[in-house]
């Protein structure tokens, strides 16, 4: 730009000077012609010679004066201007860079509530890539924040408000709404969000843990204490009774241990439920490995596990490998218990399927469903059906009565309390699966028909590369 400006200046200067030069020559010629004609000078060549000298002198002057001299001051003005602009752009870039680099969501709104700028954290927060020029209310449903924006536009000082975003995982946030520019009449409003979900969850976790622990541990503890009293008392010299009571006490203690470890892992999962995992896991390989490792145990209970891969050999999902294994293991454990509960006398069968898209539905027309459907999950993610992988665990046991289905994933809920106690269930298995699925942005769908078994399906969002390949 600088080059063209200075050359424009030079050319203009040249044009003006050429015109001036020609005019000066013409005027001189005119004057000398008048002098020549008036006869004031006798020799005719004298004015001609004078004109030639004049023209030559002017020419020298014309050549010598470089047009640079003309351009320089202008260029100087330009330089300072451009320098100032550059500095301003640098400052803007810095500000923009800071906004972009902020790990927490930041929105800059105009006075009517339209988004002018949003940083990547904000885009991730509302899971949408196109935020600019959209209205704030259509991006974030938090009326309290929008009220605060309006108040700030009307000249109020910075407002701080708490709000909740509902969804499959609730999020608790604090919003700082600050005017940008003149405080009494701001031209923009800055909305800065802080996700306090983790803090709230820690608080809730503590309360829940104490509540569940005191609720569920009380019974086995009381029973253990009762047996200890008996052992110290009248069973003191009865080795047979001692043997029996110690066996029961061991079973109760083991139950408490399982309960505590399940409660711990549930708390851990719940704590991070709002943070999506980032690793890529091959669902096929992970499931297969798990099945191989549990086979020796299930074979003891006369249950055969069959593994089917309904699609290509690799199903890459975004997941936390340990949690996936835990979820599938819980489902297989459940299925093994239920498979044995049916009327069949032959070896019971559990099928595990891994695939992409919609999982096969329950064949029975009386089957009842509970949990998230694949279209619901896809709708929340704004993707297509093939962007989800699934693992389905199907048993052919007694099935779950319809009226028990809705409460199935509730913690400590057991369809059959006696049977659950006998087989060592804690009543937390499905609750754990559900929370793991929530964390993965997936869902658990349960279909069951009495007498025809139950199928549990976990849907997981696929890793981006494979989801694109599938399209």
The site that binds another protein (CB under 8 A) totals a number of residues, namely 41
How far apart are the C-alpha atoms of 448 and 142, rounded to whole Å? 38
Q: Residue 342 contacts by C-beta under 8 Å, 6 or more apart in sequence?
A: 348, 396, 397, 398, 451, 453
**Location of structure tokens 């969002």:** 461
Single out the segment in contact with another protein by CB under 8 A; choices: 59-67, 166-174, 217-225, 350-358.
166-174
Pairing of strands 316-318, 280-282: antiparallel
β-pair partners for 238 = none
Residues 199 and 208: their CA atoms lie apart, in Å, by 14
Angle at 373 between CA 371 and CA 379, to 5 degrees: 125
Least CB distance to another protein at residue 138 (A): 5
DSSP 385: G
Q: Which window, 6-14, 60-68, 105-113, 284-292, contacts another protein (CB under 8 A)?
A: 105-113
Nearest of 180, 140, 126, 125 to residue 158 by alpha carbon: 180
Q: Give the number of other Cβ atoms within 10 Å of residue 106's Cβ.
A: 21
As measured in angstroms, the least distance from the Cβ of 216 to another protein is: 15
Q: Does 184 contact another protein by CB under 8 A? A: no
Q: Is 97 in the site for another protein (CB under 8 A)?
A: no
> 3-class SS at 391?
strand
Residue number, 48 or 161, with CB nearest to another protein: 161
Cβ 339 to another protein, closest distance in Å?
Answer: 25
Residues within window 263-322 making contact with another protein, judged by CB under 8 A: none
128 touches another protein (CB under 8 A): yes
Considering the rule CB under 8 A, would residue 15 count as an interface residue with another protein? no
Classify strands 348-356 and 280-282 as parallel, antiparallel or unpaired: unpaired
Binding-site member from 2, 236, 407, 422 for another protein (CB under 8 A): 407
The answer to whether the CB of 371 falls within 8 A of the CB of 400 is no
Least gap, CB of 208 to another protein (angstroms): 13
Q: Which of 5, 25, 168, 416 binds another protein (CB under 8 A)?
A: 168
Window contacting another protein (CB under 8 A); options: 62-70, 222-230, 402-410, 427-435: 402-410
Question: Residue 219 interacts with another protein (CB under 8 A)?
Answer: no
Binding flag, residue 431, another protein (CB under 8 A):
no
Q: Could you give the residue ranges of the DSSP H alpha helices within 39-142?
A: 45-64, 68-101, 120-125, 136-139
> Does 450 participate in binding another protein (rule CB under 8 A)?
no
Task: Choose one: 54-62, 159-167, 211-219, 329-337; the region binding another protein (CB under 8 A).
Answer: 159-167
Per CB under 8 A, does 365 bind another protein? no
Among 365, 403, 418, 471, binds another protein (CB under 8 A): 403
Binding map of another protein across residues 26-65, x = CB under 8 A, - = no contact: ----------------------------------------
Of 53 and 144, the one with the shorter C-beta distance to another protein is: 144
E strand intervals along 278-347: 280-282, 303-309, 316-318
Does 88 sit near another protein (CB under 8 A)? no
By CB under 8 A, tell whether 137 contacts another protein.
yes
In the complex with another protein, the residue whose CB is nearer, 17 or 276, is: 276
Report d(CA 62, CA 150) in Å as an integer: 67
Residue closer to another protein, measured from CB, 108 or 281: 108
Residues 6+ apart with CB under 8 A from 177: 145, 148, 149, 151, 152, 158, 159, 160, 161, 189, 190, 191, 192
Residues numbered 367 to 396 that lie near another protein (CB under 8 A) are 368-373, 375-376, 378-380, 382
Give yes or no for residue 144 binding another protein (CB under 8 A): yes
- Least Å distance, CB 412 to another protein, is 11
| Residue 127 backbone zone (phi > 0: left; psi -120 to 50: alpha; other: beta) | left
**Cβ count within 10 A of residue 2:** 10
Spatial separation of the C-alpha atoms in residues 167 and 189, rounded to whole Å = 27
Q: Partners of 462 in the beta sheet?
A: 317
* Nearer CB in complex with another protein: 328/367: 367
For residues 444 and 466, the answer to whether their CB atoms sit within 8 Å is no
- Which is nearest to 442 in space by CA: 355, 394, 371, 354? 371
Exactly one of 4, 166, 300, 345 binds another protein (CB under 8 A); that residue is: 166
Site for another protein, rule CB under 8 A: 110-114, 116-117, 128, 135, 137-138, 141-144, 146, 163-164, 166-168, 187-188, 368-373, 375-376, 378-380, 382, 402-403, 405-407, 410
């Amino acid at each position: 730009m600088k080059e063209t400006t200075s050359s424009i200046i030079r050319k203009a200067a040249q044009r003006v000077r050429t015109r001036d030069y020609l005019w000066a020559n013409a005027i001189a010629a005119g004057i000398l012609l008048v002098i020549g004609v008036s006869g004031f000078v006798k020799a005719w060549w004298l004015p001609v010679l004078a004109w030639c000298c004049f023209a030559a002198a002017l020419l020298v002057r014309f050549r010598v004066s470089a047009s640079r001299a003309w351009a320089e001051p202008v260029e100087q003005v330009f330089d300072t201007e451009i320098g100032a602009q550059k500095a301003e752009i640098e400052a803007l870039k810095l500000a923009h860079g800071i906004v972009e680099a902020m790990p927490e969501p930041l929105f800059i709104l105009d006075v009517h509530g339209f988004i002018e700028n949003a940083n990547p954290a904000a885009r991730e927060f509302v899971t949408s890539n196109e935020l600019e020029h959209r209205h704030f209310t259509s991006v974030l449903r938090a009326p309290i924040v929008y009220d605060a924006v309006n108040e700030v536009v009307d000249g109020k000082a910075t407002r701080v408000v708490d709000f909740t975003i509902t969804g499959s995982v609730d999020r608790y946030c604090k919003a700082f709404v600050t005017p940008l520019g003149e405080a009494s009449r701001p031209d923009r409003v800055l909305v800065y969000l802080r996700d306090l979900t983790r803090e709230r969850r820690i608080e809730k976790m503590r309360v829940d843990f104490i509540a569940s622990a005191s609720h569920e541990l009380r019974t086995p503890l009381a029973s253990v204490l009762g047996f200890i009293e008996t052992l110290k008392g009248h069973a003191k010299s009865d080795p047979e009774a001692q043997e029996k009571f110690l066996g029961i006490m061991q079973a109760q203690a083991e139950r408490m241990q399982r309960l505590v470890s399940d409660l711990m892992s549930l708390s851990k999962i719940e704590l991070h439920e709002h943070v999506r995992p980032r690793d890529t896991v091959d669902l096929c390989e992970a499931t297969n490995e798990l099945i191989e490792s549990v086979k020796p145990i299930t074979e003891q209970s006369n249950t055969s596990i069959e593994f089917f891969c309904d699609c290509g050999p690799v199903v890459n999902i975004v997941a936390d490998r340990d949690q996936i294994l835990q979820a599938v293991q819980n489902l297989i454990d459940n299925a093994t218990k239920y498979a044995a509960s049916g009327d069949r006398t032959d070896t019971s069968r559990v099928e595990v399927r891994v695939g992409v898209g919609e999982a096969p539905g329950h064949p029975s027309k009386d089957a009842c469903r509970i949990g998230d459907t694949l279209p619901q999950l896809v709708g929340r993610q704004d993707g297509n059906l093939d962007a989800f992988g699934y693992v389905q665990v199907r048993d052919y046991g007694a099935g779950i009565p319809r009226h028990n289905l809705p409460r199935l994933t509730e913690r400590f809920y057991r369809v059959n309390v006696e049977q659950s106690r006998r087989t060592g269930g804690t009543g937390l298995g499905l609750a754990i699966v559900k929370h793991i699925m929530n964390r993965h942005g997936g869902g658990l769908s349960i279909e069951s028909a009495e007498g025809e078994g139950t199928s549990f399906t976990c849907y997981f969002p696929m890793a981006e590369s494979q989801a694109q390949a599938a399209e």
